[in-house]
Amino acid sequence: MPPASKIDLVDEETRRELDARIIANGFGGYVGLSDWLTERGYSIGKSAVGLYGKNLQRRIDAIKTSTEAARQIAAAAPDDADDRSNAIISLVQTSIFESLIALHEAEDEPNHAERVALLGKAAKNIATLTRASVARHKWATEVRRNIAAALEALKKEGFDSGTLDEAEKRISIYLPANNR
């Protein structure tokens, strides 16, 4: 395992401030940022700050790209059943499971303390994914229940035809505000 970068050793508050300064400087001005870190008690050269800034920019660009792609997919192919989220959760769960098996079968197993730490992190991630899956399922069930109730109420009112826009408007009045 490669040694930790000097920036990995910086306290969290300073790292957050560094991130903000890098972004505010337009991913430049690394000499000044290196000087700022020196004033804060960290001896980190401009090259290390530049590499960190490049990696930060790459992560931000990846988030922007994936967010935009998700927006475009959602606009082009609405997913009321939230199948994409289910698929993503399933893929991550599968990947974690495969990683756990690989860790268990590894010939160069890390020491027991490292293994316990890795398993603890994996368990926490699995619990988070499971909670997300359960919450998404509960939300989808509630939305379907509300739509069914709205349709039933419309039938009782004698509603049997009309434009899609009119139906959507009428259904939305029966849905809770957070599901509209």
pLDDT digits (tens, 9 = 90+) for 38-90: 999 999 999 999 999 999 998 888 888 877 776 776 666 665 556 666 667 66
The 10 Å Cβ neighbour count of residue 72 is 10
Quick: pLDDT tens for 129-169. 778 878 877 887 888 788 777 777 777 777 665 555 577 67
How many residues are there in the chain? Answer: 180
DSSP state of 158: T
Please tell me the predicted confidence (pLDDT) of residue 68: 77
Which band of pLDDT confidence, cut at 50, 70 and 90, is reported for residue 14?
Answer: very high
Q: What is the DSSP letter of 3?
A: P
The residue that leads in pLDDT, 55 or 92, is 55
**Range ranked top by mean pLDDT from 34-43, 87-96, 112-121, 164-173:** 34-43
Q: Is this prediction's pTM over 0.75?
A: no
Which pLDDT value is given to residue 165? 58
Q: Which residue has the tokens 């698929």?
A: 87
Q: How far apart are CA 30 and CA 26, in angstroms?
A: 10
All structural domains of the chain with their residue ranges: 1-78
Give the residue, 108 or 166, on which the prediction is more confident: 166
Half-sphere exposure of 104 (CA within 13 A, CB side): 8
User: Tell me, what's the pLDDT at 179?
Assistant: 47
DSSP string, 31-90: HHHHHHHHHTT----HHHHHHHHHHHHHHHHHHHHHHHHHHHHHHHS--TT-HHHHHHHH
Burial of 37 (0-12, 13-18, 19+ CB in 10 A): buried
83-106 average pLDDT score: 69
